[in-house]
Amino acid sequence: MSQIRVNDLTFYYEGSYDNIFENVSFSLDTNWKLGFIGRNGKGKTTFLKLLLGKYQYRGTIDASVRFEYFPYPISESQRNMQGCELIYELRNECEEWRVICELEKLGETADILYRSFCTLSLGEQTKVLLAVLFSGENEFLLIDEPTNHLDFEAREKVKEYLSGKKGFILVSHDRDLLDACIDHVLVLNRKSIEVQSGNFSVWWENKQRKDSFALAENEKHKKEIRKLRQAARKTSEWADKNERTKIGFDPIKENDRCISTRSFIGAKTKKMQSRVKNIEKRIDRQIEEKEGLLSDIERTKQLKLEKLAHYKKNLISFADYSLRYDDSEKAVLDGISFNVESGERIALHGSNGCGKSTLIKTILRKAGYNGIMGNVTEKGTCDIASGLVISYIDQNTVGLCGKIEEFCEERGLDRSMFSTILRNLDLDRVQLSKDISEYSEGQKKKVLIAASLLTPAHIYIWDEPLNYIDIFSRIQLEQLLLEYQPTMLFVEHDMRFREKIATRTIEL
């Protein structure tokens, strides 16, 4: 057991407007199971790469352990290797028997090491890479979003596996995974970094309590400042009024006054002006105490969407529907039967490769949207209501590039409204001038979400919309969907999101 000490860390990307980290200091224990929490684009992956020595920085990072990072970068040629060859490419000191032991803990047999890596499912690929990651010794592991694109069963296996390990930093936005696997949190707040003991729920409860206290204190300070300013204004008015009586008086009406009274009035005015200065000092102290109270509060702004009403209640119907790609012998969809009615929010649930995305692309194709599927053979019926307008989010962000104005022009979106939604999803204003290809994966996903929210539709079809999306934005989207209750068909492996949003779940 040893310490990782970060002292006065400052880092910024060349050409960037702001520092990613500025004079940051904290310590971590290498025996902890750390969850790394923070907004998209705030520097979580950057910090992991600083630990790996990928970038130059100011300050110091002292550690007596070696770091290992997940996911491993894999080249196209490596993807065609068998797993047993690939593990030595990734870590030349790796021992195959150790990898096999770790695979067993993940519920997989050694057989998958003797197949081409590219032929494995996403879940199997993740498990192989995790087994390689944990097959070493005396290392502190940096695990960056291991469950994206994994189905529920694979996530449960990874969750169970990680809960039995220690000595890692886990970057994840899956609240259920964080609760099961971690005993400390490392949090990138808006203006600070903090380390706390406990899992996600413990931290979240503490944060809400702390934020409530800060808001109450802020209101108390504001009231006190208002009272002090009123008192200062009245006292200043009295002093000015009193000062004006020093010169000139009516000897008949003010027969008790004489020329020597001026010095008394001047002394009284001076005392009142001194009181004003004291009040102003108290105001300054109150303002100083108030500053910083709200600096770390996450303010999630309200989102909106414009749902359309369709004249038909039944929007989509599948009846004993089957689909097979012509270059495959096995049907991707087999005997599917269900309806999507107006007002329903249906979650498609099933393992990777069971046909969820294929089903969505089928609906898009039938409705006249671009659904690239290749040549297929279909049986049964798939009926789409006439004139159905769909707002779609693809699970894939590959190919997103160009300026915001180009993206809006290509999709016929109002740039001003689009930028407002992105700002409400916590993209900094400076990000809006960058090329989308420079965004983090979470920020790219927010571009797709913003485009969908700005598109009026009868039904919103979202394919894994929350991959890479931070916890605060997930909660923000949950609040939006529960308020507006649009008709939806979606795929999402975040269990808590699915349980809150879905009115019905279809098992594939």
Interval 232-253: pLDDT, tens? 777 777 766 766 665 555 555 5
What's the topology of domain 3-200? Answer: Rossmann fold (3.40.50)
Global pTM value = 0.76
According to DSSP, residue 457 is labeled B
What are the residue ranges spanned by the domains of the chain?
A: 3-200, 207-290, 314-507
Residue 466 has pLDDT above 80, yes or no: yes
Mean pLDDT of 152-159: 83
- Residue 498 binned pLDDT confidence (cut-offs 50, 70, 90): very high
- Name, of 120-129, 368-377, 442-451, the range with top average pLDDT: 442-451
At 432, list the tokens: 């809006």
Q: What is the pLDDT of residues 296-308, one digit of tens each?
A: 666 778 899 989 9
pLDDT score, position 387: 92
The H-or-E segment that residue 184 falls in is strand 184-188
* pLDDT higher than 70, residue 17: no
Cα angle: 139, vertex 142, 147; to 5 degrees: 130
Using CA atoms, how far residue 171 sits from 454, 475, 494, in Å, is 30, 18, 15
Mean pLDDT comparison of 213-227, 264-278, 428-442, highest-scoring range: 428-442
Q: Name the H helices within 313-431.
A: 356-366, 404-411, 415-424
Q: Which CATH architecture has domain 314-507?
A: 3-Layer(aba) Sandwich (3.40)
- The answer, yes or no, to whether residue 193 has pLDDT greater than 90, is no
Query: How many Å is the Cα radius of gyration of the chain?
Result: 31
- The arithmetic mean of pLDDT across residues 415-442, rounded, is 90
The partner residues of 35 in beta bridges, in order of sequence, read 170, 185
Lowest mean pLDDT among 82-91, 255-264, 480-489, 490-499: 255-264
Name the token pair of 268.
Answer: 């009284």
Closest CA to 343 of 499, 459, 452: 459
Instruction: Determine whether 315 is exposed, middle or buried from the number of CB atoms within 10 Å of its CB (0-12, 13-18, 19+).
Output: buried
Q: CA 400, CA 412: separation in Å to the nearest integer?
A: 16
Cβ 453 vs Cβ 304: under 8 Å: yes
- The predicted-structure confidence for 91-121, as pLDDT tens digits, reads as follows 888 888 988 998 888 888 888 899 888 888 7
Length of the chain: 508
A 10 A CB-CB count for 461 gives: 28
Q: Is the pLDDT of residue 453 over 80?
A: yes
